[in-house]
Amino acid sequence: MCNQTNCLWIRSRAWLTIITKILLLLAVGQTSPTMAAVVRRQLAFISRISSRQCSRCFYSSLAAPQSQKQQDEITLLDQSYRTDEWTNISNPIIDTLSRKLHLQPSHPVGILRKIIEARFPENQYTRYSELPPVVTTQQNFDSLGIPADHPGRSRTDTYYVNANTVLRTHTSAHQAETFRSCPTPGFLISADVYRRDSIDKSHYPSFHQMEGAMLWNWDKDTAQTVENDIAKLPKVDLVVEDVPAFHDQNPKQQGHTDEESIAMSNHLKRTLEGVVEEIFGRARLAAGNISDEKLRVRWIDAYFPFTSPSYELEVFWEGQWLELLGCGVVAQSVLENAGSSFASSMLTIGVRNKVGWAFGIGLDRLAMVLFGVPDIRLFWSRDERFLKQFSPGKVSQFKPFSKYPDCYKDVAFWVNDSKISAAGGGQVSTFHENDIMELFREEGGDLIEDVRLVSPSDHI
């Protein structure tokens, strides 16, 4: 709920600050450009606060300038959408819509995407990386069997464009349409996803996921076909703590035979173990770790409305278990939903008569671990000192830099003219230019960029 007292307090505090500053200007007659800029900024801030009154009460007013009547449209990636009382998207989120970090070849998130994709043969897994982030509630929730009272649907957790339209909260939102239209048995979807969340060093309301899935024709030979496909997967050399394919608390689906369910979950697990080996093998190299100790992973039972049985995968990394992804055998109801809107087409039959698995992996937190990035907000930096550190295909360790921009300090020293000598020579008493250089190097190291003799005499 809106906290008016809080809002008023912000306003009055801002006004007080600005009044203080204006008085100061008058008092000392100061017109420095910095001070003017500060005042201009504060004015803009105050006019924003007073026009929206309270950020929590008038979500939509944040998205674009408001007229007297309720704003009724919002523009996202050049598309207009009707707004209503569900609308809760703010300008900072709108700004992130066009960033698409997962498509940048030299960004840790983009590098990680490519590394994972490389594990999946292109002729079996079609890549989708540019699906637009605005989806319907049907795509994001209903198509996956997410119940009406699921907390993830609330306005506190999800960015609503309007009552029926959201910014996707996960890449699973595209499962149904992709199952329907994908030309290969499998697919990989990478995309930016959005969740209303706290902001701290490991949470950011925009982040990235990759969704993967694989389907087989569902007939009497399915279990054998899947077993044959398992034999073709690249061999993996990990220590794996596994759980049974299914049991009472993590059941197989009605209609799946034991053999089908076991074969599909084994194919899923072996495929994802290969991904983990690839990623963390590279991370070990980047960290200079050449130990031949095997990487440890463990499977854990999980629950998702759109898979059964369901699992999570964890990897033992730097002394702790790190949660990597969620996955499972795709619920037949999801495949049926995927076909149902094309009730009269052949495609319906195609999707309904299939079985398979799916997984979803978060890219940002994994990229933080791999590249040693301590704060998720750094991924959104436009600072070259961050962006220039990474190159395509390479996992490298992030080198910290100041959060403040470069700041040059020029310092001048006077040195007694008669004592300085460029030629130097054997005289012990003269002070050679290089001695000064050495002095600076000792004291300032690489922080000192340039040392020059400005004037040989005293007319600076």
Q: Give the interface with ligand DAH as residue ranges (CB under 6 A).
A: 170, 172, 211, 304, 307, 326-328, 358-360
Count CB-CB contacts under 10 A for residue 62: 20
Q: Tell me how far, at minimum, the Cβ of 2 lies from ligand DAH, in Å.
A: 30
- Block residue for tokens 């052949």: 346
Q: Tell me how far, at minimum, the Cβ of 279 lies from ligand DAH, in Å.
A: 17
Helix (H) or strand (E) holding 125: strand 125-128
Q: Tell me how far, at minimum, the Cβ of 213 lies from ligand DAH, in Å.
A: 7
Q: Tell me how far, at minimum, the Cβ of 304 lies from ligand DAH, in Å.
A: 4
Which token pair is 102? 């997962």
Q: Tell me how far, at minimum, the Cβ of 312 lies from ligand DAH, in Å.
A: 8
Per-residue b or e along 138-155, where b marks 16 or more CB atoms closer than 10 Å to that residue's CB: ebbbebbebeeeeeebee
For ligand DAH, the nearest residue by Cβ is 360
Torsion-angle region of 129 (φ positive above 0: left; ψ -120 to 50: alpha; else: beta): alpha
Give the distance from CA 13 to its chain's centroid: 35
Q: Report whether 205 contacts 93 (CB < 8 A).
A: yes
Q: Report whether 185 contacts 215 (CB < 8 A).
A: yes
Q: What is the 3-state secondary structure (H, E, C) of 148-169?
A: CCCHHHCCCCCCEEECCEEECC
DSSP-assigned letter for residue 245: S
DSSP-assigned letter for residue 102: G
Q: Tell me how far, at minimum, the Cβ of 237 lies from ligand DAH, in Å.
A: 26
Longest dimension (CA), the chain: 99
Q: Which is nearer to ligand DAH, 186 or 360 (CB)?
A: 360
Identity of the residue numbered 232: K
**What is the phi/psi pair of residue 176, to 5°?**
-60, -50
Q: Which is nearer to ligand DAH, 160 or 357 (CB)?
A: 357
Q: Which residues pair with 162 in a beta bridge?
A: 165
Q: Which is nearer to ligand DAH, 74 or 329 (CB)?
A: 329
Identity of the residue numbered 133: P
Identity of the residue numbered 54: C
Q: Tell me how far, at minimum, the Cβ of 192 lies from ligand DAH, in Å.
A: 13
Q: Tell me how far, at minimum, the Cβ of 245 lies from ligand DAH, in Å.
A: 15
Per-residue b or e along 204-218, where b marks 16 or more CB atoms closer than 10 Å to that residue's CB: bbbbbbbbbbbbbeb
Q: Which is nearer to ligand DAH, 216 or 359 (CB)?
A: 359
Q: Which is nearer to ligand DAH, 303 or 316 (CB)?
A: 303
Q: Tell me how far, at minimum, the Cβ of 169 lies from ligand DAH, in Å.
A: 7
Q: Which is nearer to ligand DAH, 261 or 307 (CB)?
A: 307
Cis before 400 (ω within 30): no
State how far the Cα of 291 lies from the Cα of 325, in Å rounded to an integer.
26
Identity of the residue numbered 222: T
Q: Which is nearer to ligand DAH, 236 or 361 (CB)?
A: 361
Q: Tell me how far, at minimum, the Cβ of 161 lies from ligand DAH, in Å.
A: 19
Q: Which is nearer to ligand DAH, 172 or 222 (CB)?
A: 172
Q: Which is nearer to ligand DAH, 84 or 177 (CB)?
A: 177
Q: Which is nearer to ligand DAH, 74 or 146 (CB)?
A: 146
